[in-house]
Amino acid sequence: MGGQNSQDSILERRSLVWNDDNIEDGTVPDNIYEAEIYKGKFFTRGCRGMIEQLQLYCIGDDVDEITLRYSPHPCLGPIGEVALVPAAAWAWQAFDIEEMWNYDSLFIWVHECEANVDWAYDAVEPYDGHEYTVTALPFEDLGETWEDIAIRPFIRVVYAGETPGDVPVSGIINIIPIPSSSSESATIDKLFVLGAQRLVVEVEGAGYCDYIKVIVRAAADSHETWIYVYCDDVQAFREVFDEASGEGHTTSTPTVSIPLYAEDGECVMLIHKRFEFRRRLQVRSYSAGANYTLTVRVHPTLMR
């Protein structure tokens, strides 16, 4: 028979996780970001449970939108994304989630913010702010190198059921399966110009992919099209149709098969290699010949 202590240990905790100045709706904050992105807040422990909402203290114009992303920690790709159009008054705006969060830590950041949305922070300890400087590179790293900054973003988490404490799911040193979901991301008949490496498909998040289908349509020098796969901006695979065919890759070849091949004709490549990534997977292509058209289908399994 259980007593009061054991009863408390099995009940859910409906709670608010926060670190700010306890500002109330209608108050104009002292520190404001105007349409600022890639700044976030890190809660390092005790975050596993049923998340009802993320909240951000902000103001808008009833038109422009702001988007939050969240993951177990900085430098990991997004596990989820929520967006809303803030009202034209300072308030704790609620981003509804209503999903289980299976990780002990939680990192939340502003991913997109349109021009007429402002949000609040302060520069008071204990600091928990992080920032990433968005670059103009062709394939920017999307938050690989977050740096801590001496601020507290006004971001909160509302739990409908926070766990009272158990073994954290880190995905690194445990035997508990990471929740995941499978999906398809496809680019259909996309035309690319010659002479530079081009981004074809991008999957943001953390997980793995063990099947990619690439079709290059019939065109001059179509068989000389290169296919590249990048995991977190590191090249993990490259192959060109004519060399693969010349080396004996056919329909039955494991890992990389070429079920269809013709010079200047339609070529098909099936890639069955497992690619693992923390932030994003990209398929890129290159041709030094004529312009070319690709169809690429990527079938990732992402952390959820």
Residues 193, 285: one domain?
yes
Burial class (CB in 10 A: 0-12, 13-18, 19+), 261: buried
What is the reported pTM? 0.76
> Is residue 124 in some structural domain?
yes
* Full domain range(s) for residue 252: 180-303
Averaged over 202-229, what is the pLDDT?
A: 94
Q: Are residues 201 and 156 in the same domain?
A: no
For 15-19, 124-128, 143-147, which range has the lowest pLDDT when averaged over its residues?
A: 143-147
Please return the burial class of 264, using the count of CB atoms within 10 Å of its CB with bins 0-12, 13-18 and 19+.
Answer: middle
Mark whether 153 and 24 lie in a shared domain.
yes
pLDDT average, residue stretch 161-181: 56
For residue range 59-99, what is the model confidence (pLDDT) as tens digits? 999 999 999 999 999 988 888 999 999 999 999 999 999 99
pLDDT higher for 2 or 208? Answer: 208
Tell whether 143 and 201 lie within a shared domain: no
In a domain, 175, yes or no: no
Q: Which of the four pLDDT bands, split at 50, 70 and 90, describes residue 290?
A: confident
Torsion angle of alpha carbons 86, 145, 174, 18, nearest 10°?
Answer: -30
Closest Cα to residue 294, out of 186, 209, 196, 139? Answer: 186
Query: What's the pLDDT tens digit per position in 225-272?
Result: 999 999 988 999 999 999 999 999 999 999 999 999 999 999 999 999
The answer, yes or no, to whether residue 32 has pLDDT greater than 80, is yes
Regarding whether 116 and 234 lie in a shared domain, the answer is no
133: domain CATH number is 2.60.120
CATH code (residue 295) = 2.60.120.1390
Shared domain for 25 and 90, answered yes or no, is yes
Q: Is residue 54 part of a domain?
A: yes
Please state, in angstroms and rounded to a whole number, the distance separating the CA atoms of residues 236 and 272.
13
DSSP character for 77? Answer: P
pLDDT value at residue 211:
96
What confidence tier does 12 reach under pLDDT thresholds 50, 70, 90?
A: confident
